[in-house]
């Protein structure tokens, strides 16, 4: 909270964004007094903590509404987007991780590990721009922005899911390799249990 509070103060005077170009110095002074910006910085921080503890995060300098209202209005969309991103991440990471472990040392295993490496290396903002360029601008298959049907969730959800997919995939692969080398799995194979049943049972 301390870092965020002071970083916000370093970004400039919020009254400049809140007031029109026709505003006078007296208008700016009144607004600063209303927001408590005329007080010492330590006093401002103490008031910020006091109000935050009561659930009051002040007024948005952009929307001129209480911050809690702005967050509440956008929470459903954030929850939906996060849920879709998690589902996409799991649907990609688990099968790839299991397949990579079962076919250890093959070209497909190498491709899976390369995918995980790229996933942890590529900046998300760059990936988002590339996806928009390809699927929204070049091909026109998906919308570039906005909230609507399922199509609006695909590009942002894939971008968000990309951040966690490599970690889940690597964890799945390493766990699966450990399980496949265990004694009870070797015993199941000796007893003649089909390989697909061994993999399916322990993947679940």
Q: What is the pLDDT of residues 53-72, one digit of tens each?
A: 888 887 777 777 888 888 88
- Rounded mean pLDDT, 71-85: 87
pLDDT computed for residue 92 by the predictor: 86
Regarding predicted confidence, which is higher, 20 or 91? 91
Q: What is the pLDDT of residues 130-171, one digit of tens each?
A: 988 998 889 888 888 777 777 888 888 888 888 888 888 888
With tokens 């919308």, the residue in question is: 143
Q: What is the pTM of this model?
A: 0.65
Collapsing DSSP states into helix, strand and coil, what is residue 69? helix
Collapsing DSSP states into helix, strand and coil, what is residue 66? strand
Contact 155, 132 (CB under 8 A): yes
Q: What is the pLDDT of residues 89-141, one digit of tens each?
A: 888 888 888 888 777 778 877 887 887 777 778 888 888 899 889 988 898 88
- Please, what sign has the CA dihedral across residues 66, 69, 75, 78? negative
Regarding predicted confidence, which is higher, 16 or 42? 42
pLDDT computed for residue 20 by the predictor: 73
Contact 199, 102 (CB under 8 A): yes
The C-alpha angle 188, 191, 196, rounded to 5 degrees, equals 55
pLDDT computed for residue 69 by the predictor: 86
Report long-range pairs for 159-163 (Cβ below 8 Å, ≥24 apart). Answer: 159/124, 159/127, 159/128, 159/131, 160/81, 160/82, 160/85, 160/124, 161/85, 161/86, 161/88, 161/89, 161/92, 162/89, 162/119, 162/122, 162/124, 162/127, 163/119, 163/124
User: Does residue 179 carry a pLDDT above 80?
Assistant: no
C-alpha to C-alpha distances, 137 to 129, 142, 150, 151, 161, nearest whole angstrom: 10, 9, 18, 15, 22
Regarding predicted confidence, which is higher, 31 or 88? 88
9-19 burial, b for 16+ CB within 10 Å, e for fewer?
eeeeebbeebe
């Amino acid at each position: 909270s301390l870092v965020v509070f002071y970083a916000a103060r370093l970004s400039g005077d919020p009254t400049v964004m809140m007031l029109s170009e026709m505003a006078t110095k007296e208008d700016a002074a009144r607004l600063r007094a209303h927001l408590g910006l005329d007080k010492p910085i330590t006093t401002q921080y103490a008031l910020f903590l006091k109000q935050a503890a009561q659930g009051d995060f002040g007024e948005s300098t952009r929307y001129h509404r209480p911050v809690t209202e702005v967050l509440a209005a956008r929470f459903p969309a954030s929850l939906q987007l996060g849920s879709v991103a998690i589902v996409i991440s799991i649907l990609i990471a688990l099968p790839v991780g299991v397949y990579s472990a079962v076919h250890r040392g093959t070209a497909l295993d190498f491709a899976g590990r390369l995918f995980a490496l790229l996933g942890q290396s590529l900046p998300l903002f760059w990936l988002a721009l590339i996806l928009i360029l390809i699927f929204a601008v070049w091909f026109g298959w998906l919308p570039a922005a906005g909230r609507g049907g399922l199509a609006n969730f695909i590009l942002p959800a894939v971008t968000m899911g990309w951040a966690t997919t490599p970690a889940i995939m690597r964890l799945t692969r390493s766990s699966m390799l450990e399980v496949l080398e265990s004694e009870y799995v070797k015993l199941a194979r000796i007893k003649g249990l089909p390989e697909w049943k061994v993999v399916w049972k322990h993947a679940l």
